[in-house]
Chains A and B, each alone.
Chain A
Amino acid sequence: MTESVAAEHDIDVTIDAEEAAAIAAETEATAVAGADERLAYRGVFQRLLIRPEVGAIIGAAAIWAFFWAVASEFGKATGFASIMDVSATLGIMAVAVSLLMIGGEFDLSSGAATGALGIVTILLVKDIGELGGAGLSLHIAIPLSLIVALGLGFFNGTMVERTGLPSFIVTLATFFILRGFKLGFSKLIIDNISVGRIDEAQGRGYEFWRPIFDGVWARNDHELGIRDALWLLGFTVGGALIGIAIYEMNHKRREHLNPIGLAVMAVGIVGGAATIAYMHNSDGRSANTLAVVLLAASVLAGFVGLCLWRYEPQRVGITYYSRETLILTVAGVGCVAAGILVTGALEVESQQSVLDLVGGLQWPLMIAGGLVGAYRVWDRRDRGQNQKQMIRSALTAGAIGASVAFGIYSFMFMTTEQGLRAILLGVLVLAGFLSLAIAAYRAGAVAPIARGLVLLVTALMGLWLAWFIQGSSSSPKFRTEAFSVILLVSLLIAVWGVTSTLFTTRRHDDHHAERLAGTIAKIGVAVLGVGIVARLLFTTAEEQAAGETNPANYRMSVLWFIGITILATWMLGSTKFGSWIFAVGGNKQAARQIGVPAARTKTQLFMLVSVAAWLVGLLLAFRLNTLQSGTGNGLEFEYIIAAVVGGTLLTGGYGSAFGAAIGAIIMAMSKQGIPAARWNSDWRFAFLGIILLSAVIANNFIKNKAESAGR
């Protein structure tokens, strides 16, 4: 009815002359304001970065690359299977916990609940006899423990809602109650702190439920001859499609298509495909030099062709460098060069611990760190700080310097000289490219051509790095794979530098372009996914012959993990309940005012978490057969870390279930990667802490940047 009324009335607001004059003073600038009050157009990268899960995906890729470089298990079918195995139970909980956290609450009892609900199930099926237990069939015990789980969640939710106390305190209490119950009842009923065994239920439903909770899909010798070809195809085609989608999103379309561009693009594609095929079949350096030149030409032709075909050219203005850009560029080039040259000079294939080389230098190092920090402050003494401030910052800087030195020292404990080389190279190169990236970003604000030049310099440094790695590394995964990836990335940066100078960036909405780009990007991600899956699920004959493959088993838990992640993502993004979760976490008062059943939504979230705990409890029970009374205690913080690493805001109202799943995979990678890299796994928690801190800082930074830049 409202709509028909509205339709009859003119959309334009007509104000009669008298009134218009009266409010003129206040609306003077409305006509102008009409334009500037609306948001400025947000570019494709800003829009991507603001999504909570994107940071997590970038982080996962970085950590994967890091461990791939230092540990041999990574990037192979076996390593992937064990990562997925570890991340499954963690991930199921992390996804549920992230929903609860988006809804603005915490559940500290979630870890203890996993063990508790598994134990409840086992106690329910245990034979009645001298050992105690209810002796029920699993067909009854499993639904019964589900009811217990629902009750637990309902209790948590109702307590939080009714008392109005922070969920932190309420669920901390539940955590201790559960912990006590687990120990108390286990001892009381079976007089043992390890509760088993669930396979006593054989003949009472065990055979039915076991495949559901602990079926194993063995991938011991799944050979796929075309694996590497499929991976390469998926990687290049998927990557190219994603690249095209980004171009489509980022550039302004021209009015009439230019067929010459299409022809150039076709040449580029054919040339690129041929070169990649050629490169894939050779590992020699001389062959590569030619191939790289061809590849560079093809990629450049492909993207410039695409731009010529579809996008508006741009007139190249005058170059202008700010002093800042120049300094950053030079610093970046210097860092990368230093990294490469120093590492080149340290050409020792020694497995000796670095500590033996520097032996006893830790104290001088720490003192030097402190002095450096103090000097920083001394250097700034005449910048109008008072004495108290100076002392305070001197202490801070000294502490930072000392702890950095200590960090370097303790890192040496774990690392060999060869490792030190890799770390030195990594740190210097990373710092260099970061500096170059900032230079490009700053230059772009002043003159596109300056940005283009900085990007070209960056690409050149990348090429040098690729060549250096190829020439100085003995391991084939560096010689071919890292080489190709760095090469390709450098090429893409160079091409981006060229096209972003020559063609116009879109600064307005274009739904047609966005829809098309969205479709292309989805296809690209799917193709890339096929490549990655092929790479991770199958082995090749050479690997088998070399005996590099251990059994890789996928358990049902992985399937549950994937299923629950998809379900939760769908629920959060596409259902009423999902909207309500964001609403109660973002502004509970407002949500309630407008008719969202806030208390009910939150209670349902608590119940969701305890149902997830029930599922994980069963997965563990079937897997381990016997659960300890301490099972799961303390893991709740890992779930929270995974959710936060995945981009969920601690204060609620923002986040993603898919991000939490990625966060769980990151956690699992660090769990598996540290022993695989032959580091002392005592350091695992320190590593987790660093990941958490950097993830939170990075998420915060990216979000602020993306939000503010759009205005």
Chain B
Amino acid sequence: MTDSLIELEDIGKFYGNIIALQGVTTSVRAGEVTCVLGDNGAGKSTFIKILSGVHQHDAGEFRFEGTPVRFNSPREALDRGIAAVYQDLAMVPLMSVWRNFFLGAEPSKGVWPIRWVDKKKASETAKAEMAKMGIDIRDTEQPVGTLSGGERQSVAIARAVHFGAKVLILDEPTSALGVRQSGVVLKYILAAAERGLGVIFITHNPAHAYPVGDRFLILNRGKSMGNFAKEEISQAELTQKMAGGAELEQLQHELAQVTGG
């Protein structure tokens, strides 16, 4: 298990007397995609926040590259190589692709106080990094707002990868996208894993998770409903477990009664 980037054992998080997360165990390996599935309120956000350093866990052990860690800030997690790409993508729509790509970390030339951004290098790097993700951005000067949702997602992913991420956390990257766009983003997720990153893919859509995932962690009401490798579970089981298993059966039964079936 030494090639695991992240190992979590019995992780728990409490907000006062509310148990937000309990008994979560999973691992993320380089080159693999770990999917975190759960319905609304299942504890997915708490899970991401612990991994990305926004919150700290209250129970269990969080090991990064074999050593127990506890991040105090997102910056700290980022410095270790855990990058989170949130739903809103942190992009400025009216700014060009390369400016967004390097925002906050622009490569500079010149001597202080006369320093300027090395536009050529930035533009070329952005283009090359995007090409590695499998998309050809013809003109890195075009505003991000003119890109499609999937392309924007890929800019965010490529940016995280370029700035040295080892683990990429994607928070619901497909939830706002159409079917075709979602497919494109799933391809980028595989591309990122292919490049040796550990990917944590958070979603509530088993149909998106199953094709790309190597490992599935299912959360329900703050508890882990199991942590499976791909060969241990089918998509149907995954869907059922995610929606709460027995509860869903109950619901189906009730629905059948109502509709007179």
A interface, CB within 8 angstroms of B = 1-2, 5-6, 9-15, 19, 22-23, 26-30, 33, 37-39, 41-42, 509, 570, 574-576, 578-580, 582-583, 586-587, 589-591, 593-596, 649, 653-654, 707, 710-711
Residues of B within 8 A of A586 (CB): 92-95
Q: Is the C-beta of B194 less than 8 angstroms from some C-beta in chain A?
A: yes
A574 near B146 with CB under 8 A, answer no
Q: Is the C-beta of B41 less than 8 angstroms from some C-beta in chain A?
A: no
Among the 9-residue stretches B8-16, B61-69, B82-90, B216-224, the one with 4 or more Cβ atoms under 8 Å from chain A is B82-90
Closest B residue to A5 using CB positions: B196
A33 near B184 with CB under 8 A, answer yes
With beta carbons under 8 angstroms apart, the residue of A11, A33, A570, A579 that contacts B103 is A579
With beta carbons under 8 angstroms apart, the residue of A23, A509, A590 that contacts B139 is A509
With beta carbons under 8 angstroms apart, the residue of A574, A579, A649, A711 that contacts B95 is A579
| Bound Cα distance from A13 to B186, whole angstroms | 11
B interface, CB within 8 angstroms of A = 75, 86, 88-95, 99, 102-106, 108, 115-117, 119, 129, 131-132, 134-139, 142, 146-148, 150-151, 161-165, 179-184, 186-187, 190-191, 194-196, 207-208, 210-212
5 A-B contacts (beta carbon < 8 Å): A12-B134, A13-B187, A37-B148, A579-B106, A590-B88
Given A583-B95, A586-B92, A590-B88, 16 other A-B contacts at CB below 8 A?
Answer: A2-B165, A6-B129, A6-B161, A12-B134, A22-B211, A23-B187, A27-B180, A27-B184, A28-B183, A38-B151, A509-B139, A574-B117, A574-B119, A580-B104, A594-B90, A596-B103
CB distance from B210 to the nearest CB of A (A): 7
| Bound Cα distance from A536 to B207, whole angstroms | 69
A26 near B162 with CB under 8 A, answer no
Residues of A within 8 A of B129 (CB): 6
Residues of A within 8 A of B105 (CB): 595
Residues of B within 8 A of A12 (CB): 134
| Bound Cα distance from A587 to B181, whole angstroms | 24
Closest A residue to B30 using CB positions: A5
With beta carbons under 8 angstroms apart, the residue of A9, A30, A42, A594 that contacts B195 is A9
Residues of A within 8 A of B116 (CB): 570, 574-575
B150 near A6 with CB under 8 A, answer no
| Bound Cα distance from A42 to B146, whole angstroms | 12
Known contacts A594-B104, A707-B146; is-contact A576 B117 (Cβ 8 Å): yes
Known contacts A2-B164, A19-B212, A591-B104; is-contact A30 B93 (Cβ 8 Å): no
B103 near A583 with CB under 8 A, answer yes
Residues of B within 8 A of A595 (CB): 75, 103-105
Residues of B within 8 A of A593 (CB): 86, 90
A30 near B184 with CB under 8 A, answer yes
| Bound Cα distance from A375 to B179, whole angstroms | 51
CB distance from A439 to the nearest CB of B (A): 29
Residues of B within 8 A of A582 (CB): 92, 94-95, 99
B92 near A33 with CB under 8 A, answer no
A596 near B104 with CB under 8 A, answer yes
A13 near B190 with CB under 8 A, answer yes
Residues of B within 8 A of A13 (CB): 134, 187, 190-191, 194
Residues of A within 8 A of B132 (CB): 6, 11
| Bound Cα distance from A27 to B67, whole angstroms | 39
Closest B residue to A509 using CB positions: B138
Known contacts A5-B195, A11-B131, A39-B142; is-contact A26 B90 (Cβ 8 Å): no
Known contacts A579-B95, A587-B92; is-contact A30 B103 (Cβ 8 Å): no
Closest B residue to A514 using CB positions: B139
| Bound Cα distance from A580 to B210, whole angstroms | 40
| Bound Cα distance from A590 to B161, whole angstroms | 18
Residues of A within 8 A of B137 (CB): 38
CB distance from B232 to the nearest CB of A (A): 15
B164 near A38 with CB under 8 A, answer no
| Bound Cα distance from A653 to B145, whole angstroms | 12
A590 near B186 with CB under 8 A, answer no
Residues of B within 8 A of A14 (CB): 194
Point out which of A9, A23, A649 has the most chain B C-beta atoms below 10 A from its C-beta. Answer: A23
| Bound Cα distance from A596 to B187, whole angstroms | 30
Residues of B within 8 A of A26 (CB): 179-180, 182-183, 186, 207-208, 211
Known contacts A587-B91, A587-B92, A653-B94; is-contact A27 B183 (Cβ 8 Å): yes
B186 near A710 with CB under 8 A, answer no
Closest A residue to B174 using CB positions: A26
A29 near B94 with CB under 8 A, answer no
Closest B residue to A20 using CB positions: B211
B151 near A37 with CB under 8 A, answer yes
Closest 5 CB pairs of A and B: A27-B183, A595-B104, A22-B211, A586-B92, A26-B183
B92 near A6 with CB under 8 A, answer no
| Bound Cα distance from A374 to B231, whole angstroms | 76
CB distance from A413 to the nearest CB of B (A): 44
Residues of B within 8 A of A570 (CB): 116
B180 near A29 with CB under 8 A, answer yes
Closest A residue to B145 using CB positions: A707
Point out which of B103, B117, B146, B164 has the most chain A C-beta atoms below 10 A from its C-beta. Answer: B103
Known contacts A26-B179, A575-B115; is-contact A6 B95 (Cβ 8 Å): no
B184 near A37 with CB under 8 A, answer yes
B180 near A579 with CB under 8 A, answer no
Residues of B within 8 A of A30 (CB): 180, 183-184, 187
B92 near A590 with CB under 8 A, answer yes
CB distance from A699 to the nearest CB of B (A): 14
CB distance from B89 to the nearest CB of A (A): 7
Residues of A within 8 A of B165 (CB): 2
A654 near B119 with CB under 8 A, answer no
Residues of A within 8 A of B95 (CB): 579, 582-583, 586, 653
